[in-house]
Every structure is written in C-alpha cells, then in structure tokens.
Structure 1
Amino acid sequence: MEIKKLLLFVTSLVMYTTIAAQEMPKYEMQPYRDSINKLYWNKHQEVFISLSTTKDGKKENLESEISSEYDNPFFFDTEGLNFIRSHWAVDKNTKKPIVPQKELLWEVYADGKAPFTKSSFSAVPKFFTSDKQIYGKDLTIALSAKDAVSGVQITNYSLNGAAYIQYNKPIILDKEGKYSLKYFSVDNVGNIEEFTGKTFYIDITPPVTNSTISGVNIEKGNIISLQTKIYFNPTDEVSGVAKTFYSVDGGKQILYNGKNISLIALKDGEHIIKFYSVDKVQNKEDVQIFEFYLDRTAPITASDILGDRFIVGEQIYFSGRTKLKLTAVDNKSGVKDVLYSVDGGGFIPYADPFYLPSKQGLHIVKYYAIDNTQNVTKGEDLGTNYKEFKLNVDKIYVDLTGPSLNHSILGNKFYARDTVFIGPKTKIKLVAKDGESGLNYISYSIDNIQKETKYDEPFSVDVSSGLHKIEYFGYDNVNNRNVGQFLIFMDNEGPVINYKFSIVNIGKQNGLEVYPSYASMFITIQDQLTGVTKIYYSLNGKPEVLYRNYIKGFQKNKVNTLKVRAFDKLNNITIMEIKFYIK
C-alpha cells in the first residue's frame, strides 16, 4: 500500500492599502518568522488550515464538524504562545503512535498588541509654560520602541506635517521655530500603534539688549556726568528674557535690577560698561559694550595694549612682542605732561608705545598726567616743587614661553622596539599646559601638511598603512608657541586567513569542493605587521566559538558554510566565508 504524507497549511487573508503623503502609512497584517524560525501571527488576522500530502501538492481545506461555527476562519485566542495539536505523535517509519505516548504540537505565537514608542529629548536647556514647551539649541530627539511578542518592524515619524519617514537615527533640530512631531511604530505582524503627537518650540536666538541714556550726554565722546542715568532694555521673542548682567570697568558681574546704573563710585575718566542678557533657555547674548567718559575734572590717563595680550580678571598678560601705549586727556585745561615708571624705577616722560623688560614675570607700570593748571591729588612731598599726581597702576605679566606639550595613545596600540603601531580606531590624545597666560589651544598636522587642524578631543588618524609623522603645537593666550612631534605606524589591514583540509577533495559538486565526512579543516592566519591574536568561527549558523586546533563534525550530504573572523593585535578584522560539500 502506498502511504502518503499529510501536510498542514495555515493561511490567512490580508488587506493592502496605499500610503498617502502626510497620512499615517498603512501596513498589512502578515505572518512573520524570526531568525530561529519561530512563527508569529497577527491575533486579529484570520486563520485557515489546509492539508496536503506533499509540500507543494494540492491542499485540502480542513473543516471542523463539531465546531464549524468557529471555523474557516478561526482566530487564535491567546496572546503569545498558542498550539495546533495532533492527539498523539506517530513514528514516521512504523506509522504507529510512539511509546510512551506524546502529544504532537505546532507552536504559533499570536500577537494582537501594537508596539509602544517613546521619545527622549536631549538634555538641553528648556522652559515650560502652561501652553508652551521651549527648548534651547542643539536639541536631538531619540525614539525607542518595544513590542512584547513579535518585535518592532519599523518606527516612523513626521515633522511639521511632512510625509512620514522611517526613523533610524536621532532627529537633529537646529533651526528656530515651532515644531509638530508625530511618531508611531509597527510590529512584525502588522499591528500599528496609534501615533503620538508633540508640539514644542526651539529658541536658538539670544536676547537683544539696548542701553538707554537719560540726562547729560555729550554724544561726541559719550561724555556724561554723575546726574546721567543709564538703563538697559532687553527683549527676547520666543522664551523671554531671564536675566541681564553688567560689569563696570572689568569688575564683577552684577545682576541688573531694572533701575539706573549708579555712577557715584566711578572716578573721573574713561569707563566701560559691559552687559548682556540670557533668555530662559540659556541663549546668551554677545557682550555689548558702552564706553563713556565721566567728567569729574582733572586729567585722566589710560593705557592701551598693542599686540598680543590676554586678560583674566584683573591680571594682564603680555608677550615679548607687546607694547604698552599711554594716553592722557583732560576736558578742561588740557594735558601738559605724561610720565611713567617701570618696576619702581624713576619716572620718565612718555613719548611712544614701549616694550616691557624682556624678563618673564610680573611687572608694575605706574603712570600719571599733569594738566596745564597743575591739578594735583593729595600725596606725600616728592622733594620737588610739586606734589605727587594721581597715579594709574597696571600690573602686567610678561609671558615669554609657550606651553609644555605631551601626548598619549588611547586604545589599540602595539610597540615594536622604538616604533608604535596603531589601528584605524586608535585615538591620539594631546595635552598642553601653560602656567603663565594659560593655554589658548592645541593644533596638529600630519605628514608635514602646512595647514594645522585645531585639537578639541582625542582623534583617530585617517591615513594609509605605513609610517607617519604627527606634529602638534601649543599656543598660549599671548600667542607663544611650542612644537612637539612623534612617529606612528598605521596598520589598517586585517590578517590573511588560510585554510586547508586534512585530506584532498574527492571531487566537485555545483562548483563546490567535495570532502568525505571524516575530513578535518585547519585554519592559519598571518599578519604582516603586528601579529595575530585570535580566530573565531561559526559552522552552519551555529554560535561563534574560538578556534583552537582543527575543525570537524561537518554535516553529511549537504553544503557546509564556515564563517571565520581573525583579529590582529590592533583589532583589525578579516572575515572569510568558506563553503564546501560533505559526502
């Protein structure tokens, strides 16, 4: 008697819809098999069962005699694991129930619940009102979705009413304005999440602050009196102004309280008020400057810096190339003489901008002016026919040396005698210190390229394999420079993989070499520069294992696939796939 095989088929009806621009895309319900061949079914999808004696033969629909009202189609009742059952399993050879008896089960995972998607806004400054959410610059939005059964197939989003697109990396928003974000996810069997919508604003524009002068103000030279009042008027169009700060003559910053700025403590002469505002998402306005002359009579003097300089608080740094310029003004009788002294020396007449002594360290410059009516301040008798005039004092540090430099190699590296080998992912860290005016920046150049690249963080080197020179430069805040250099050998090539069977092939089949089942395979790797570390392999899709001596245990009467990964000492990788037939 001929015995026929009986095969069972599970089918369903699916619906297709088109995607319209600026509408949520429609996805069909569909079965899904994962990487380990588990079958997932949409719980809302119809199920039909049919039988066949062969995989590709004629199918006969299965109909229930006792439950016809729930059949053709039927639906899976349980979220997650479901079973299609045959009462007892039958031996494929004897065609008799196996002993001990065992129920025959076909597993199907039903999924009727849509994924859940959440959004994460990056940690930028923000400000919320009852009806607005406002974020500062450099905002990125990450979407993450989870599905309990079949897994997430796709996440889509729409920005400002545009057509939905697939999400595959954080959304970067770098323009100011109002934003409307919608997003949803679909699982692998076609369950569609209801979209989530969020509306928010991005504010990247700093406030604008204007100064207002009330009272005496001679516009030519901004000459004002103690009765003059100075106000600030800040505005911000999106998030609004949070605070306004100001400082007078390089002094400490003061929080502006909305009232006029007090001038009573200021001395006669030139003054600078620096001011700026910050909005509620921390956009900071560029510092605004209001320069004025407060006329309280008597001559005044001022210094100007020609060349390299750096100011931190009240400390001024010069380089050896910097000159100091002195200026005196008087709004009454005019200036007669300007005199200055360096490091306690005698006062001499000022004629032109001058260099400070070429000695590294702190220097004291004193200078004063005498007007034509001999206005003087109270002071001790200098032993001359006039008393000491009002002095200005500048404490200036002359910085003649550049920063000290150092470097280190981060990540994969290999030393052979006096040569350091690095890989494409290895990073180079540059360090510079300056104990005087302080470090301004570090730059570097590769292989004598004239243009320098500014250093911000450890960097990898995108060069060909071989020996390369790294030069790096440290600049302090008065433009003194030091130079360092070192050599690296770039190795960006993985090792060479070779393999050999323990026996010669016994033929070919469909272009593949054929070996007997008792054959073993040996793998060797070779690296031209740094040497090798390890080999991993995966046979016929099994989990990857570490290669030790030889490989055996191939599957008979089929094509075997061996995937090999080899690493050198810099973690460069070579991957090879080998296919062959085992008799």
Structure 2
Amino acid sequence: NGCLDEIRLFKHIITRDIIDTIWFSPYAKLGSIHDILVQHMPSFASFNFSVKKPLTLDKDDVDYDSITTEDTIEFTGYPSDFIFEWDFGDGNTAIGRKVSHQYLSPGFYTIICYATDPKTNTTTPTTKTLYVKDTTTPDFNGLESAIPDNHSVHLKWSPAIDTNPLIQYYIYMRKENESYNYSQPYLITQNTKCTITNLDIDTTYYFIVRARDSNGNMDNNAIELSATPFDYAPPEFKGLRSVAPISNIPGAVFLEWNPAADPSTPIIYNIYVSTIPKGEDFNNPYISTDQTWVIIDDLDLENQSYYFVVRAEDNLGNEDDNTIELRIGIIPSEDRTPPIIKNVTAQPNPQINERRVNITCDIIDNIAVNQVKLNITNPDGITMNITMLNGGNSHYYYNTIYNTVGVYQYYIWVNDVNGNSNISSVYYFEVLEGYPPITIKTIGQPKYGSDDEWVTSYTEFNLTAMDNLSGVNKTFYRIWYNHSWTPWIEYNGNFTLTGEDKHYLEYYSVDNAGNIEEVHNHTHFVDDTPPLINKIINDPNCEIISEDEYCVTTDTPIDILIEEQGCCGILVNASYRINDGTWIPIQINEDGSASTSITFDEECSHTLEIYAEDCLGNSNSKTMLFHVDDSEPLIDIDIGLPQCEVIPDEEYCVNFSTPIDLSVEEQGCCDILVNASYRITNDDTGVSTGWIPMDIQGDKAFLEYYFDEECNHTIELYAEDCLGNSNNKIILFYIDDSPPITLLEEGEPFYINDSIIWVTSDTFLYFNASDYPVCGCGVNSSWYKVDNGSWNLYQGRIVILEEGKHILYYYSMDNLGNKEIIRNQTMYVDNTPPITLVNITYDRYGNIRYVTLTADDGSVDHCMVYWATRDPFGHLIWYSQPDSVTFKGDAAKEVVEFYSVDALGNQESVRRADWATPIH
C-alpha cells in the first residue's frame, strides 16, 4: 500500500543509502531475530530554542554565552503534530509544542524533550545541554555605617546575596566638591568592613560601597555616607637618640633624634632637662624646636651631671609620653686618654671597578672626637689623606668609586678635642674587573607548549642568576597582565602568575659590583580553569546536609557530565570510584566531554568520587556522600497495662488509663523522617480525627495516647521517609472504662423485709456479675467478705452459717482491672423455729370462751400457724393462718394438733392440743 510498516534496527549506524537497499520481508514478525530487532517504525523528533535570535541545538555554532539568567528561552518541538513534554533540568517541567522557561541560577542544564507520535503512541526522548551564564547583580543594601576615627573612617555593611559565593566589595571615596571615579575604586575587599586610613582631619569624606560577583556583575546602589576624621593620637616617636658634649664650647651639649611621624604637622620637639634621674618637669620644657637636633650651651658640665628627655608634639597639641632618658656626666678639665678605633671594614670586598667601596669604623672617646682621617694608597702607589664623615653614634665612613683594578691599603688616624690621637692597623681591599650576571629562567610543572608558554597559576617560575666575580646581589622581575605592569619586585624565591590569559614576564639581575644585566622578556599564557564536573541526582533523592550529601534508593540514577572549560586544556582523565574502590574510566567523547550514569546496588552509605584532569594538570574533583535507603520506617503500637489481648497484634481491650505508645523510627541509612502521623476513628459513629502529625525528633517520633471515650476505636499509624519509603499499622481497640455490675441473688429459703434479707444456714447466696454489655471486656473475678472478715474469692456460691445479723460486702472486677464500688447487704441468719403461744380466755363460769394460737418468732415476722382437726373417719385435716388464729367456744375443742413455721421454713415440732393443760 506504499506505507512502511516495519524497519529492522541494527547495532551499528545505518546510512540512508543502506536503508534504501534493505529488503523488507513481508513475512517479518515482531520480535528478536539474531542481532536484528523488528519493531514498529519509531518516531523521530527534535527541538530548537531561542533567546533573542533562533539557536538550533543541532548546530555546532550555538552561542552558549548568549544565554543568561536574565533571558527567557523559547523552546519549539518538531514535528508540529507531535505531543511534547519538557524537562528543563532544574526541576521544572512543561507540556506543549512551544514553551518558555527562565533559569534562575547559572550552570549546565540538560533539557529532555519527550516527543510522542499520536499515531503510534511512541515516545522519543531528545536531550541537549546548554550553559546559562550569570548576569544577575548581587542583592546588596549598600554601605550601612561610616564612623570617624583618628585620621581614619571605619566602614561597615551587611553581606550581599548572590548565587555566586565569591563577592567582592568596591569602595569609592571622594571629598567635598569632588566626583567618584567608578573606574578606579579606592579599595577592593571581600570583607564586610574596612578602615580607610591616612585621612586629613577636619575634612569630610564621602563613601559608596558596591558589590561585585566573580562573573563581573556589579550592583549600582547610590547609598552614600559621609564622615569627618579627627586627631587625638600623639606622634609616633622613638625618643632621644644621642647626647654629646661640644669640645670647643664649654658647657654645651649636642642632642639629636630621629624624626617623629604624625599626620598633623608641623611637629615640634620639647626638650626636658633634669639634674636627677627621672626628675624632668614635663609641664615645662627647657627648650623647644622643630628640628631633629638642638644645642644647649648653658650647662655646668664640670660640676654637674644632666638628664635629658625629648618628646614630640603635633600641631593639635597631642604630645607623646616616651620616657627615654639619656645622661651626660661631669667632664674634667684634664684629659690624657686617646680615642679608641674599632670595627674597621671595607664593603664590599672584593669590589668591581667603577663601583663604590664603603670604608667604616667606630671611634670612642671619653670626652669628644675632634677629627678622623683616612689614609689610603691605591695600586699605583698614590696616597690620599681624606677626612671621614660622622654617621652618628660614634660611627664614621668614607664611600667612593674606585676605577683602578688592584689591591688598596689603608689605615685610620684620629684625635680628640684635647689633642689626644691614635692610629689603626693597616687594612686591605681589592678591586676587580667584572661583567654583569646571567639569569636563567626555569619553569616547573605543569606546563605545555614548545616553549612552555602555557602554564597554570600554580606553575612555579624559578630565576637562577650566576656571576663570575663579585657574586649576584639581587634579581628583579615584573609582570604585565590586564594592560598594566607590576612594580619591579626583588626575587626571593619561586613565584607564579596570577590571572587567566596573557602575561609578559621581564627580569634581570645585579651583581655585588653593581653590574646590571639586560632585561629578558617572555610571553606566557595562564590556563587555570579546571574541567567542569556536573551531576544530576534524579528522583527519588533528598539533599540532607549540603549539596554533596544525598539520600537515594537503589533505583535512583546519578548522571555524571564532565566538560573541559580552559582555552588551552585537553581533557585527559575522567573517572569515578565508589567507596575508595578501583577508579572506573569514563569514556571521553570527540567533543572533549565525558558522561555516564550510575546507580547503587546495595543499601547504606557510599562515597562517590569524580575526578577530571586536563593536559595542564588542572584538575577538579567532587566527592559526594550517598545514603542508599530502600528500608521502610519501623513503626510500633505498644499497648501498656491494663489491657487484654483479643487477637494478637490486631485487637485489644483497654481503658482510659491504658497508655498507647505510638513510635516511629527510621531504619534505613538515610535517617530523615518526613512524615509520622496517626488518626483515630470511632468505629461506632464513624467519626475520625483525621491524620494528626507527630513530633519528629531526628529519626524518631513518639506519642503516648490515652482514650477518653468508650466503645470501639481504630488507631492507624503511618510513617514515610524523604525517599518515599513508607509503612503503616492498624489496631482495633475496645475501650472499657466502666466496672462490672454485681447482683446478689438468694437461694431458698430466704425472706426480704425492708431491704433486709433473712436466710438460714442452708441458704445459698449467688453473685450475678456482668460487664458493660456493648464494649465490656468481661468479668475477671468477684470478691466478698462477711462483717469484718477477710476478703474471699467468689467460687460460685456463699453460705453464712452463724445465726444473727451480718453485713455481706462484695464487688467484682473486669479483665482490665476496672473495679466495682464495694456493695453491702444486711443479712439475718435464722435457723430457730417459732414457738406457738396458747392464750385461753374463760367465762365467769370457768368455761372456755376463746383459745388463741400465736406464732412467736424472735426475728422473722410473717409466720404461719398450722392446726389440725379430725374428719368423721379420724383423719387429720390441717389448716393454716398467718401469725395467729382464735377459736371460739367449742370450736377450740376440735383442734387436735398445731405448730408454727416462720418465713424461712423453720418449723416448730407438732404439738398436741390439750386445753386442760395450759400451754406456754
């Protein structure tokens, strides 16, 4: 019919030309035939996306850098009659042929488009990966405080918020009537506070702070604060350095000191003088000067010692408080001690011609040195006599250039102010002919390229200089980067290049003779970017502590994607390992990326390490901890006492005081319990509490519950961890908080009169106890006691043997311990029959007028009187009447026998009627 119904899919790539030559058998059947799979024609689909201009994912020249967190990306699926579902890789999804999405965070995202052919209901997944660049400026509230201080201002602000953790703060400063130079910040820092120093006092400074992330996005807040520094600190001053007499001026001394440091100039120096130690009056200086020396010429040095302290004061009146005190003692008029010559040196020795040699010595005299002479003879025999210069603190020097090559000899002569003189030994130094040093550059690892031009920021550069004669003095280098040179830096050890891309390196050395090497210039490129490791933790998962610690199941796929980012780098290693096991290589694709997907096949904690390295050794690694958990939470409903088990672990009888402990504990390696709930249903009314959450403490939840209404209830307990592993339990409860009811039943004989029960010792007493008829859990036992006797377990019947009045106490208890209130019943035990009393009434003639028979019983009323007469045949005919009977006249003579019986059946013995004999 012209339609293609089936196609055979092979394990290798089939080109269109080959497809055209495939012979499609009309007898092909669905299923597997050797290495050929015959199935319905699959559906093929693709999709495009666009930002500002259409970008097709099938093309190789997609400008990934054009996609930012500010952009809304439009995705379009093809062909148009398919049904499309989208997974944007950041947890968001959409349905439709044309959809839009904006990524809020930078990074790599894998978009999966599920295209379903409505004709065959076949779904084709298509995936592409794009990179989203961060163009969102940090969220920053600007400068919050500017506090003035001594020639300084303290600035402080709150941290900026940004998806990029590395934030730098640019501080801009201006004075009144000036403008900010936003191209040149005054200071850059990563801290949230700083101090601007060396500021003029009484000058108002204005500040703005802006936040910049590592992608170059800077906020543009205009929050400006100002502050005016002040000065309350004294100058920094080390005090008096030396004091010496002046030999040709009697009573004169020379004091000198190093300059003080203070922003508030000019500085004056106050000199305090005392004739005793520590006796200076610091409120009244002896003399003041703005120089770093002074001469005092009115002292009595022949008879008095003096003590001197010098303090520095700025133009605001702040004076330092140093206590450095120097003394000058009494100077006698007679002096015969010559000066002492010490520490004679010539440096450097040897030296290169046309370079300087510095000859120095120390001269010590008890009074004062007058002059110091240097006598020096050059290699040609020419002698010079030169006055040496005073360098302070008795130190003298002569520093000059020497051109003649050879050995020089010299000595020193000195005299004091009183004419005493001295001469030193003869010393030598040598002047050589020299050449500039040679510096060799050595580059460590990692490096790449024919001239080692490609390096990283941790590749060390070594400069080794050599010199033929005087030795290397110093080596200097400087670096050009980002359109500017650093100052010349003295080389003191290996260094590195910082910052990506092009650098110029210049260097040279100087020897001890002052010979300077020509400057070397080299170009290097820094590639410090490691490969990018991206991972996708698919569902089910839950991140628990950080982005690199997860809970997953054995069904959770973990996708690994590695891409090389450097401009020079080539990916040479991509691998992963689990639990410090063997490293497993990941196949590197032709485009330089590497990807794979893994799952864990057993529970508990596993460490996944991913490693990637390029040809420069720029490496990246990521370690993630996975808690693999397929175990459902452990739940338990523990029924306390009192309780009785109806069906084990299914049905129980309890009362209001029975604790029902609901407990949940996470059993797997994840230990994150997200749901622990219970609900209670009244099975008689159908009313439910609904699901009530329990208080989760860590990986456990516990609740003690008590019922507060009777009859049938169901407790349901449910628990679920963050991975969806769940468990539930249901138990039926019969709640009985009512005690049994005990009824006292009497056997024969008994008699009840006014709530008092009369019985005999032969009367059986019975208990009829019943529990609550609907929800009762059943009677457990009944107990009784008579009067003050002990309690007895009811065994089926009770007999009270002792006659007289008794109180019977009794109660029952059900299987839950619900105890009936103690009941009591007053009982009389009567085993004694009544006595029939005969009362005869006579008339005045002595004849019987009336005879009365009365039953007399000491306890029980309602007795019966029985009497008998004879019929014509001599048989007894019995009659009865309650309590008493009266016979009149001759009728009494017919009574033959009589007796009485009380209500309990106690019967008097039959008595014969003989009225002639009184009967009592």
TM range (shorter): 0.3 to 0.5
After TM superposition, the score normalised by the length of structure 2 is 0.25
Bigger relative CO (Cα 8 Å, ≥ 6 apart): 1
